[in-house]
Amino acid sequence: MYGYGPSGSNPFFNQSNQTKQANKQQGRHKDNQLSPNELAVIAALITKALTVQSILIDREQNIQILLEGSLKKRSELDRIIDEIRDVPIGDFISSLMNQK
């Protein structure tokens, strides 16, 4: 797990006041508009290009969500493997042998 700072909080959660002020100055939170980065993450989650790997909550109730994905384009073989992953190997081999 990540190291904790002297206050007992995760240093990755501690967003400086300068960063918060910069976000406000950029109009990011103005009128509840989403930034292009936020829209990209939402689109990637909806299309399953990104998946949630873990959700961490620290003592101060800060939440960190770790997303995982790949930029590599999936091949046809990758898709087939995903489809047959849960099929018992004996059933898979017998179905291959019965095809003519």
What is the pLDDT confidence band of residue 1, given thresholds at 50, 70 and 90? Answer: very low
Q: What's the CA gap between 11 and 66, in Å, rounded?
A: 15
Residue 9 has pLDDT above 60, yes or no: no
pTM: 0.43
Which is more confidently placed, 47 or 10?
Answer: 47
Concatenated DSSP letters of 11-74: TTT---HHHHHHHHHTTTTGGGPPPHHHHHHHHHHHTTSEEEEEEEE-TT--EEEEEEE--SPP
pLDDT digits (tens, 9 = 90+) for 40-98: 999 999 988 899 999 999 999 999 999 998 877 778 888 888 888 888 888 878 888 88
Question: Which pLDDT value is given to residue 95?
Answer: 82
